[in-house]
Amino acid sequence: MNRDDVEIKCSKNLYRGFFEMNKYSLRHKKFDGSWSDTISREVFERGAVAAVVPYDTVRDRIVLIEQFRPGPMAAGAQNPWMIEVVAGILEPNETPENLATRETFEETGGELTDILPICAFYMAPGSSTEYCHLFCGRIDSADIGGLHGNSDEEEDIRVFSEASEIAFARVSKGEINSAFSIIALQWLQLNYKDIRRRWI
């Protein structure tokens, strides 16, 4: 099946602020060939994002960030400060690669000298348009660390680097529970030897 097998009856904007929420009334073709009844679905309009795991092959260190996240807070998490890889929202006419490079500099103060695509995926396809382009980036972590962030957006970001084995262990221990960060770190762990051969 494809997009032609969905009929949108109407759409209505429910909220427009930093993000947007729309309600769709639609029907779609079913696997038995018939059509569904008209259904209503609210969709969180997030759009495209990019995330990158910055990796220093010379020192075998991964750059990570920690910052407050309102989602876990609203869900009742005891600690709404999340350890993550670098990520940001795609701006008009910006490529995912350029976004990954820009966000790395803005959030960590470091510059990527090479970048590799990992994959792209929907973050929550049942309720959101958010589509993540995921990368691995080569970086020099020698002088990276401290507090960063865009003051215009009230960002307060702690930046640090640590040995790759420690970062990988954080995933196993449940210390990292951001989806795109888990995918990025597990990909790097699986491709660890190949990446080191490529960038050393």
pLDDT at 148: 85
Based on the fold, state whether residues 38 and 69 are members of the same structural domain: no
Based on the fold, state whether residues 179 and 86 are members of the same structural domain: yes
With CA atoms as reference, report the closest residue to 23 among 8, 41, 6: 41
pLDDT at 149: 77
Task: Locate 43 and state its tokens.
Answer: 């969709």
Domain span including residue 56: 48-199
Task: Locate 186 and state its tokens.
Answer: 């597990």
Based on the fold, state whether residues 32 and 62 are members of the same structural domain: no
Please give the positions annotated as active site.
153
Contact 30/162 with Cβ under 8 angstroms? no
CA 50 to chain centre: 6
Instruction: Report the DSSP pairing between strands 48-56 and 131-139.
Output: parallel
With CA atoms as reference, report the closest residue to 120 among 132, 135, 136: 132
pLDDT at 150: 74
Amino acid at 114: D
pLDDT at 200: 84
pLDDT at 40: 97
Q: Which residues are CB-neighbours of 125 under 8 A, at least 6 positions away?
A: none
In angstroms, how far is the first alpha carbon of the chain from the final one? 45
Based on the fold, state whether residues 68 and 36 are members of the same structural domain: no
pLDDT at 158: 96
Count: domains in the chain = 2
CA atoms within 13 Å, Cβ hemisphere of 113? 11
Question: Residue 156's domain is classified under what CATH number?
Answer: 3.90.79.10
Low-confidence ranges of the chain (pLDDT < 50): none
pLDDT at 146: 94
Q: Tell me whether residue 78 is exposed, middle or buried, using C-beta atoms within 10 angstroms of its C-beta: 0 to 12, 13 to 18, 19 or more.
A: exposed
Based on the fold, state whether residues 117 and 77 are members of the same structural domain: yes
Based on the fold, state whether residues 36 and 86 are members of the same structural domain: no
φ and ψ at 15, to 5 degrees?
-160, 140
pLDDT at 18: 85
Based on the fold, state whether residues 35 and 52 are members of the same structural domain: no
Based on the fold, state whether residues 33 and 65 are members of the same structural domain: no
